[in-house]
Chains A and B, each alone.
Chain A
Amino acid sequence: MLQQAEGSHAVAEAVALCRPDVVCAYPISPQTHIVEGLGELVKSGRLAPCEFINVESEFAAMSVAIGASAAGARAYTATASQGLLFMAEAVYNASGLGLPIVMTVANRAIGAPINIWNDHSDAMSQRDSGWLQLYAETNQEAVDLHIQAFKLAEELSMPVMVCMDGFILTHAVERVDVPEQADVDAFLPPYVPRQVLDPDEPVSIGAMVGPEAFMEVRYLAHAKQLSALEHIPRIAAEFAARFGRSSGGLVRAYRCDDAETIVVALGSVIGTLKETVDGLRAEGVRVGVLGIQSYRPFPLAAVRAALQGARRVVVLEKSFCVGLGGVVSTDVRVALSGLQLHGTTVVAGLGGRAITRASLERMLRDAVADRLEPLTFLDLDRRIVERQLAREAQTRRSGPIAENLLRDVGTVAAKVA
């Protein structure tokens, strides 16, 4: 049913439609509305039978999900940022044990400095954990990806992270089509576990594996993620057939066919990029956008196929590798290995810094004119950076960096442009 709804609320409805048995989550901005929504659905009886557990930490949240999933329940949790890090041990544990848990990550920056706004550093920190990572461009896609995620996770026996930009998507009220229960039931059958704690057929799960078999166990996780490269498009196609719209998949190319310059990005910024690209195309500039929906497994072949005709690739990402450069850029580079094209990294939107169409246009014009540095921090205020460096050069007791910069910037809520 078509509704005008807040992203979080729509996701809560979508998850509820998937009939989770156990929902366990710890509140953290900007995921709170999702969990609150689900809590209310359970308390009011609209989502039943379902156990909604108010856990005492994110570590507990993932641990409860592990126990529930191992005992045969469809389990769901949600977190962001610091919460994801706090549960990191359990995140690796869940994928190592092969439990099909679905988790929403409402992408938010990781501190210090503490920051509640959007970027991708949280999910990126877990990119090697063995979880699948799907990124939503819109709230509609966020709704759809959750439904696909349960199916994908259970088919593979691997946990899936659905990433949606904190605040930008979670707190945006927009048009969403929330599917009907009957359609979701037809698409997503009840969970049949590959392994389960069952007194009738006892098994030991989670034993220590030594050097004699550890490599093989880990290789199997790798093989499974690779096989997801086939499952993901297939499930997206099944979804499209049943629900009548295209959502998910591996990558989505926009005006890339004859593009000389292609921008690669994840998440909601793709929308703004499309608007920017349309504007430049109207002037005859041959640019396109490649959105990556499946970040893990990283669709090397699909990315290569989409980019190989271009002269330039700009990876625009809300994440970075301190001291090195881009995170996504590195993966894209692997996809393009051996090809002759000019690649640059643009780090943007860290900690919720707005990525404006105007800035993107300027950046793209620079890209097209080959004026872009290999690594750019979009809209970086060099003045205050330089002031801080000078401060540190002058005196040892230069004080906390964050506070110094904030004083230079003045007390400003959101930096607009």
Chain B
Amino acid sequence: MHQQVKFYQTGTFTVGNRLLSPELRTVQASTARSNSLNSGHRACQGCGEALGARYAIDAAMRATSRRLIAANATGCLEVFSTPYPESSWQLPWIHSLFGNAAAVGTGIAAALHVRALKAGRPHSDVRVIAQGGDGGTTDIGFGCLSGMFERNDDVLYICYDNEAYMNTGVQRSSATPPAARTATTTAVGTSPGAEFGKGKNVPMIAMAHEIPYVSTATVADLHDLEAKVERAMAIRGARYLHVLVPCPLGWGSASHDTIRLARLARETGIFPVFEAERGEVTRVAKIRRRVPVDEYLRPQKRFAHLFGPNGRADLLQRIQEGADRNIRRFGLLDEGSAA
């Protein structure tokens, strides 16, 4: 259940939101939340992934009454959350390799299932989340992800997408958007930054597997993200959640802009927020007040080369066209709303 809130969030202090009835408040609003990614981890100030992971796992812990196991790919999240000899995780958690989080999740789910059968139950009450960054999901983990999808293994895979290999120094991944500067797609030459015409849309690939549930979300809309996690945990089978998580370091943005940028990604149409079941889009988060892509791109130094005296209006135009296409494709605007 999701009550439309008719005003904008102004910061995390409103997460508590006393204007909502208690049962509609977020998981984060509750002092009884599991705080699965406990404080003390080593993430950067303003890290979107740390935020997204805490939001998602706490929501999943509530949805499963804390009967949850997580498998984590190598990456920022894994590294900053388990600095030897400490761990931030408040749930059973395993890190194996970079490319196998989905397969490890499959294995855990299988083990739980057999244990349940041995105890005379058809299913385990313990659920499984496999999670990783975009690199571990869209590139090196792609094979295992697809395998988990096609077998319909009972795993929710969450991808925290900050659009590059951040932990190793901001290298390009197949989730890096066109024109973005990374260490391996530098802002030089005739097509500065990441090239157009490359890249992978994993949510749509997930949909092509016709798995029970696919959705995208951002850290800008906590209610939405939590609701999606809850909806996902109510389903058995392969599920995929793709969360846009801005990275101040990699994006060259201010650490206080993380949530704002996530919102702008949605409001420009650059990042469509939607849900799909068995390959068909079922619900779409409409753009409330559409903005041109410039507003989203300007605060990020990774797009700085598109602006200024040597700016590339042509590339900005192409990015805008990409956003327009998303809006068209997913029906992100209501009829007659501000274009």
Contacts and interface: CB of A to CB of B under 8 A. Distances in A.
Q: Do the two chains bind?
A: yes
Interface of A: 21-22, 24, 48-51, 53-57, 59-60, 63-73, 75, 89-90, 93, 97, 197-199, 201-210, 212-213
Contacts, number: 165
A201 B126 CA distance: 13
Nearest to A26: B147
Contacts of A205: 93-95
Contacts of A66: 96, 100, 103-104, 107
Contact of B94 (A57, A70, A210): A70
Nearest to B98: A89
Given A22-B110, A60-B103, A63-B96, 16 more contacts: A21-B115, A49-B117, A49-B118, A50-B114, A56-B144, A57-B147, A60-B143, A66-B103, A67-B109, A67-B111, A71-B69, A73-B110, A75-B111, A90-B100, A197-B69, A204-B95
Given A51-B113, A64-B110, A197-B108, A56 B93 contact: no
22 contacts: A21-B114, A50-B114, A51-B110, A51-B111, A51-B113, A55-B103, A56-B144, A56-B147, A60-B143, A67-B104, A67-B105, A69-B111, A71-B69, A89-B99, A97-B96, A197-B94, A199-B66, A204-B92, A204-B93, A205-B94, A206-B82, A208-B84
A63 B96 CA distance: 8
Interface centre among A59, A63, A70, A201 (most CB of B within 10 A): A63
B265 interface: no
Contacts of B89: 202, 204
Contact of A64 (B106, B114, B118, B146): B106
Given A204-B89, A204-B93, A59 B111 contact: no
Nearest to A54: B151
Given A49-B118, A67-B106, A71-B107, A208 B82 contact: yes
A57 B143 CA distance: 8
Interface string B139-162: 000011011001101000000000
A126 to B, nearest CB: 16
Nearest to A201: B92
B83 interface: yes
Contacts of B115: 21, 71-73
A67 B94 contact: yes
Contacts of A203: 92-93
A164 B245 CA distance: 49
A87 to B, nearest CB: 10
A29 B278 CA distance: 36
B183 interface: no
Contacts of A50: 114
Contact of A63 (B93, B104, B126): B104
B54 to A, nearest CB: 16
B151 A202 contact: no
Contacts of B95: 204-207
Nearest to A72: B111
A202 B93 contact: yes
Contacts of B106: 24, 53, 55, 60, 63-64, 67
Interface in B106-144: 106-115, 117-118, 126, 143-144
B100 A60 contact: yes
